[in-house]
């Protein structure tokens, strides 16, 4: 990369970019929700377990940050080829590859240790998340299979399970509903992003669905994935009728938007709307889970 075109930055900004702080923060919302629901529905005092809360949140943040760092290390050869990744510190050279590897390993080891200090189940799920993201997704499926997004969705769906397992290692049905919401949410979310970046993924040799199969096939897949979300709220009756209605309305709205893609005249504009809706959907539905158990 031409170093004259590297944007000005700081050590802290480079570190935040390396660990993908945006992803860390968004995943912590789902970790907290899983943990909160486990406390409330098992009638376990929340404020009496601040040690568990701290260990879970910090441990989860560390393993997510570490996994993201290892992802940057592994993808250092293809990141320069994509517009959205070409300013990562591993590409600009502001952080050496050896340091990135050490940082990534140190973070996942420290984070895993903290999670194992809560419950064995939480620690094991954390390790499964690390392995599924770093090894199964980044090192194996991402560059080989068009199903890479679905494979990657496994790791993206474990944060709420970690939060729940840190409090209740038996994992109630509701915990698995949180996992399924996160798992099913990811394909339409990332396919929307992949449509906007289809040319870049093609240049980098990453077999994303829009790049390999085209937009028409991708839109059909996105529609089907949104349909899969529809029945999930009805297995979450512990959260009350208000939540079921809200979640169903959110699901119906996303299904309608996805169906609109079949007649969209501007596929990229439609993909942008799908991407924005997916972000709002996830935030609203997980925050709502906390709110309905408070009021």
pLDDT band, very low/low/confident/very high, at 6 (cuts 50, 70, 90): low
**Contact criterion met (CB below 8 Å) for 35 and 44:** no
Higher pLDDT, 171 or 10: 171
pLDDT in tens, 26-80: 999 999 999 999 999 999 999 899 999 999 999 999 999 999 999 999 988 887 8
Residue written as token pair 């040799």: 205
pLDDT in tens, 76-127: 888 787 777 777 887 887 888 899 999 999 999 999 999 999 999 999 999 9
Query: What is the arithmetic mean of pLDDT over 246-255?
Result: 98
**Contact criterion met (CB below 8 Å) for 122 and 175:** no
Is the pTM value of this prediction over 0.85? yes
Instruction: Give Dmax over CA atoms of the chain in angstroms.
Output: 58
pLDDT band, very low/low/confident/very high, at 4 (cuts 50, 70, 90): very low
């Amino acid at each position: 990369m031409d170093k004259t075109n590297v944007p000005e930055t700081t050590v802290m900004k480079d570190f935040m970019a390396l660990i993908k702080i945006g992803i860390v923060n968004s995943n912590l919302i789902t970790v907290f929700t899983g943990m909160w629901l486990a406390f409330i529905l098992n009638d376990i005092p929340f404020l009496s377990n601040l040690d568990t809360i701290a260990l879970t949140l910090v441990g989860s943040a560390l393993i997510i940050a570490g996994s993201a760092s290892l992802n940057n290390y592994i993808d250092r050869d293809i990141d320069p080829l994509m517009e959205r990744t070409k300013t990562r510190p591993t590409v600009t050279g502001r952080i050496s590859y050896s340091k990135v590897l050490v940082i990534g390993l140190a973070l996942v080891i420290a984070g895993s240790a903290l999670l194992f200090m809560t419950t064995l189940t939480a620690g094991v799920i954390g390790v499964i998340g690390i392995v599924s993201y770093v090894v199964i997704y980044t090192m194996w499926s991402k560059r080989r299979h068009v199903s890479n997004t679905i494979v990657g969705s496994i790791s993206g769906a474990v944060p709420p399970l970690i939060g729940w397992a840190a409090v209740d290692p038996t994992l109630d049905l509701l915990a698995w509903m949180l996992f399924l919401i996160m798992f099913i949410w990811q394909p339409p979310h990332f396919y929307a992003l992949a449509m906007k970046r289809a040319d870049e993924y093609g240049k980098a040799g990453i077999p994303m669905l829009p790049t390999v199969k085209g937009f028409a096939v991708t839109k059909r897949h996105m529609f089907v994935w949104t349909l899969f979300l529809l029945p999930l709220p009805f297995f979450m009756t512990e959260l009350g009728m208000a939540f079921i209605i809200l979640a169903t309305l959110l699901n119906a709205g996303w299904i309608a938007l996805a169906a609109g893609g079949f007649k969209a005249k501007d596929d990229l504009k439609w993909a942008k709307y799908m991407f924005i809706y997916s972000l709002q959907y996830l935030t609203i539905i997980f925050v709502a889970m906390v709110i309905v158990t408070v009021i």
